[in-house]
Amino acid sequence: MTRNSLFKILSVAAVLALLVVACGDDDDDDPTATSPSEGGAPTATRESSDGGGGGDGDPLIAMGEQLYSEQGCSGCHSVDGSDNVGPSWQGIYNSEEELEDGSTVTVDDAYIAESITDPGAKIVSGYQNIMPPYANFTDEQISAVTAYIASLAE
């Protein structure tokens, strides 16, 4: 081995070592690195929302409101009567609604539960069958959303 090639090997090794050190530093120091959220299923509502500090009363309604924004319902449903991809939730509770097939349905607890877990079962007239099923919603989450919708009744 000549002196020259030994020198080459050494410089390559030095560059590699520098790279490794630099990358290591980056990883350690980067304060913006975000760890991936754990688990796949939406478990966003584990934090206790009871205690009733800020809301006006019912913790179930507060939980429903939280689900509304955290689970993406707000992307398609308004709560102020304005039209969106889906029907507004304002004033629908206990009202009669026309379905795509011309029949009518009363927006009660059972219908809301079905609309969440199996949205394609009954399509509201004038809307598309594009709502994703939230089949993993627990009974508690369904009650919470129902309570929230009921609170928007007037």
**Which residues make up the interface to ligand HEC (CB under 6 A)?**
71-73, 75-77, 85-87, 92, 97, 107, 112, 115-116, 119, 122-124, 127-131, 134, 145
CB of 124 to ligand HEC, least distance (A): 4
Phi-psi region of 51 (alpha: psi -120 to 50; beta: other; left: phi over 0): left
CB of 52 to ligand HEC, least distance (A): 23
List, in order, residues 6 or more apart from 82 with CB less than 8 Å away. 88
CB of 112 to ligand HEC, least distance (A): 5
68 is written with which tokens? 């509304």
Q: Which is nearer to ligand HEC, 145 or 147 (CB)?
A: 145
3-state secondary structure of 105: strand
List, in order, residues 6 or more apart from 32 with CB less than 8 Å away. none
Q: Which is nearer to ligand HEC, 11 or 136 (CB)?
A: 136
